[in-house]
């Protein structure tokens, strides 16, 4: 058969099956404190984690110390009282005989040796790290990739002490229950929009997947009541990254949505990366309780906007007013004031509302103008973290702090990046999208380069932590990383819970193509199209290779026939924040069909231009 067909188990189901297997193995043995059960990488996707299990006759606390290569690298955590002990192990080194010490309340001690495998090449090694163990302690700097690399966490020496094997991207946030929220690895549409969010424990177990009909990108925010703001879009209408939704934490149901097309024009004041398809490019969301508002970063408008949480009405805009309609400028834009230096932000990322109402943001500075004739080349440009003070009564704005401008092109990132606020005067500034082409600073996101240009591209990221304007930490890695987040591996709230995770929310019903053109029966689909069909628990994945602009319909024929238009004309992704999902062949097409609304047995066929082909694949949905 010329078509490759495969059924794929969802990672939640695969983890549950694996969990049942290691629990059964544990139950067969007589494991004690001196002879514990050890399972490395118990949930398949976090190779530098393990699980130690044993029983004690009496209830007891357990203190675990994962020994560092030197004493400063020790990671210690106390596990609450129990007789049945499931001790998570975090912070192992790759390709190393790790020593893990366990101590009971009564002082009894045992040491377990856990040998790990070498990390893959996708776990990049820092080229520079400057800090002290006294300052950084047992914190880890997590970075999530955009260029081909793994999500990984590094200690004060630059050793990787955690990494993931799923192709996840965008932000990682620890939420109130101690777990992590991060984007799934299941692509919905190129270049990087995925099905939704995973809620995952540090051990790698996925407890929930929150699915959205048009997918997730870039950022999420946990509300006080636990519900989640998630950035999304409405794919059938032909634009992306211009909506936000509120998702119920327990059910995955969408409770509320905000559509930026209702408050902003889509064809004015665009940044240098603007396109009609990706007119706003929303890359960050922040909820501020004091003002009951959403603050959103729109890279392709060079604008940070603020919306009323209840009504969705526009409150204000931070950005260069050039090119905007005067009636919007007069009503919503700020006027710079103060005696200090002032620069507007351009193609910014990661807006944060500080406790005093200041706006903290990463100003990429890409092109640093809204007028093409005034664009600033990368070699003369800069990126920075910048703090603005705004007065919404007087509509005035003042620049009160910045870092990065003084480093010039060395710190310049055309895309991605973030800032974090820890306390007054204590900040993180992550310039994650640095690139050089033929030795010169790049004017384009370096993940966009192909062919010989790709071979001559150098990637870098610089993560800096400052306290009272003193650099306390700097790490450089030869790769691009969307965001950096400082987290501890152990968190008291992140308690391993056994049982199967949940698929929440919905992928919706895939839009059908209603006009079926006449086509001639042509037998089995030719091998040249390289057709692959994957059956997942909640969708069918169609992959193939077509020439640009070919007319392709994917059909499910059963008691009823369902037809889907497969786009083969590529869009120019001017802001390809993540390159890890893309095929090397630009003719490659990936198209998912949700199983929602499809029940029964279906024969899968293809109409390609004037011919109708059989795939030889029949699925039961």
pLDDT in tens, 464-499: 999 999 999 999 999 999 999 999 999 999 999 999
Bridge partner list, 503? 209
- Is the pLDDT confidence value at 343 over 70? yes
Integer Cα distance of 480 and 436 in angstroms:
12
Residue 517 confidence (pLDDT): 87
- Is the pLDDT confidence value at 577 over 80? no
| Total-model pTM | 0.96
φ, ψ for residue 181, nearest 5 deg = -105, 125
pLDDT in tens, 85-142: 999 999 999 999 999 999 999 999 999 999 999 999 999 999 999 999 999 999 999 9
pLDDT in tens, 177-226: 999 999 999 999 888 899 999 999 999 999 999 999 999 999 999 999 99
Percent of the chain with pLDDT over 90: 91
- Is the pLDDT confidence value at 28 over 60? yes
Residue 549 confidence (pLDDT): 85
Residue 580 confidence (pLDDT): 53
pLDDT in tens, 363-422: 999 999 999 999 999 999 999 999 999 999 999 999 999 999 999 999 999 999 999 999
Integer Cα distance of 413 and 436 in angstroms:
10
- Is the pLDDT confidence value at 573 over 80? no
Residue 396 confidence (pLDDT): 98
Residue 426 confidence (pLDDT): 98
Residue 147 confidence (pLDDT): 72
Integer Cα distance of 416 and 437 in angstroms:
18
Q: Across the chain, what does the average pLDDT equal?
A: 95
Instruction: pLDDT band for 574, please (50, 70, 90 cuts).
Output: low
Residue 548 confidence (pLDDT): 85
Residue 79 confidence (pLDDT): 95
- Is the pLDDT confidence value at 581 over 60? no
* Nearest to 99, CA basis, from 126, 75, 72, 123: 75
The CA-based dihedral angle spanning residues 275, 277, 346, 403, taken in that order and rounded to the nearest 10 degrees: -130
Three-state secondary-structure class, residue 92: coil
- Is the pLDDT confidence value at 148 over 80? no
- Is the pLDDT confidence value at 515 over 90? no
| Token code pair at residue 337 | 């004031």
Instruction: pLDDT band for 588, please (50, 70, 90 cuts).
Output: confident
Q: How far is CA 598 from CA 532, 539, 614, 621, in A?
A: 20, 10, 20, 6
Instruction: pLDDT band for 38, please (50, 70, 90 cuts).
Output: very high
Q: How far, rounded to the nearest angstrom, does the alpha carbon of residue 234 sit from its chain's CA centroid?
A: 19
Instruction: pLDDT band for 576, please (50, 70, 90 cuts).
Output: low
Please, which contacts does 248-255 make with residues 24 or more away whose CB atoms are closer than 8 Å?
A: 249/225, 250/504, 251/504, 251/505, 252/196, 252/208, 252/210, 252/211, 252/504, 252/505, 252/506, 253/505, 254/212, 254/505, 255/227
- Is the pLDDT confidence value at 341 over 80? yes
Instruction: pLDDT band for 571, please (50, 70, 90 cuts).
Output: low
Instruction: pLDDT band for 2, please (50, 70, 90 cuts).
Output: confident
138-175 per-residue burial string, b: 16 or more CB within 10 A, e: under 16: bbbbbbbbbbebbbbbbbbbbbbbbbbbbbbbbbbbbb
Residue 586 confidence (pLDDT): 67
Residue 516 confidence (pLDDT): 87
């Amino acid at each position: 058969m010329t078509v490759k067909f495969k059924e794929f188990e969802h990672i939640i189901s695969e983890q549950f099956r694996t969990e049942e297997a290691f629990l059964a193995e544990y139950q067969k043995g007589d494991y004690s404190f001196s002879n514990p059960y050890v399972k490395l990488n118990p949930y398949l996707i976090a190779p530098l984690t393990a699980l130690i299990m044993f029983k004690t006759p009496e209830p007891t606390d357990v203190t675990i110390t994962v020994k560092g290569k030197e004493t400063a690298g020790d990671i210690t955590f106390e596990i609450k009282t129990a007789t049945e002990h499931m001790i998570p192990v975090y912070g192992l080194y790759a390709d190393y005989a790790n020593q893990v010490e366990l101590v009971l309340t009564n002082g009894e001690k045992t040491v377990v040796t856990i040998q790990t495998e070498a990390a893959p090449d996708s776990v990049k090694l820092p080229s520079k790290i400057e800090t002290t163990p006294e300052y950084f302690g047992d914190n880890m700097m997590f970075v999530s990739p955009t260029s081909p690399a793994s999500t990984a966490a590094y200690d004060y020496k630059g050793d990787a002490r955690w990494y993931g094997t799923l192709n996840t991207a965008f932000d990682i946030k620890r939420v109130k229950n101690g777990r992590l929220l991060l984007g799934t690895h299941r692509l919905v549409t190129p270049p990087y929009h995925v099905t939704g969010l995973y809620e995952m424990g540090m051990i790698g177990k996925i407890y929930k997947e929150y699915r959205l009909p048009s997918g997730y990108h870039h950022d999420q925010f946990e509300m006080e009541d636990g519900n989640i703001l998630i950035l999304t879009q409405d794919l059938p209408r032909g634009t992306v990254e211009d909506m936000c939704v509120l998702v119920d934490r327990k059910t995955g149901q969408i409770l509320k949505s905000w559509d930026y097309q209702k408050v902003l024009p889509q064809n004015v004041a665009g940044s240098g990366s603007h396109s009609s398809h990706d007119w706003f490019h929303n890359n960050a969301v922040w909820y501020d309780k004091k003002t009951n508002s959403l603050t959103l970063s729109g890279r392709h408008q060079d604008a940070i906007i603020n919306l009323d949480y209840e009504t969705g009405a526009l409150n204000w805009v931070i950005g260069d007013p050039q090119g905007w309609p005067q009636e919007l400028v007069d009503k919503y834009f700020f006027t710079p004031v103060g005696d200090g230096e002032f620069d507007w932000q351009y193609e910014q990322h990661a807006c944060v509302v500080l406790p005093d109402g200041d706006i903290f943001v990463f100003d990429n500075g890409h092109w640093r103008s809204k007028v093409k004739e005034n664009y600033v080349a990368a070699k003369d440009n800069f990126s920075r973290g910048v703090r603005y003070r705004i007065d919404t009564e007087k509509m005035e704005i003042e620049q009160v702090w910045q870092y990065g401008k003084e480093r010039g092109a060395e710190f310049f990132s055309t895309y991605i990046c973030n800032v974090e606020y820890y306390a007054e005067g204590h900040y993180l500034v992550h310039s994650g999208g640095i690139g050089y082409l033929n030795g010169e600073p790049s004017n384009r996101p370096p993940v966009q380069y192909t062919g010989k240009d790709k071979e001559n591209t150098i990637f870098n990221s610089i993560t800096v932590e400052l306290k009272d304007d003193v650099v306390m930490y700097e790490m450089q890695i030869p790769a691009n990383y969307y965001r950096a987040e400082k987290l501890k591996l152990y968190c008291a709230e992140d308690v391993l819970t056994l049982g199967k995770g949940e698929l929440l929310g919905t992928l919706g019903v895939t839009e059908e193509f209603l006009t079926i053109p006449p086509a001639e029966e042509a037998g089995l689909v030719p091998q040249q199209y390289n057709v692959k069909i994957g059956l997942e628990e909640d969708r069918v994945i169609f992959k193939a290779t077509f020439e640009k602009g070919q007319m392709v319909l994917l059909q499910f024929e059963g008691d009823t026939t369902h037809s889907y238009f497969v786009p083969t004309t590529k869009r120019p992704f001017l802001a390809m924040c993540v390159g890890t999902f893309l095929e090397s062949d630009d003719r490659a097409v990936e198209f998912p069909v949700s199983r929602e609304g499809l029940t029964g047995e279906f024969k899968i066929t293809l109409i390609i231009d004037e011919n109708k082909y059989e795939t030889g694949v029949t699925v039961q949905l």
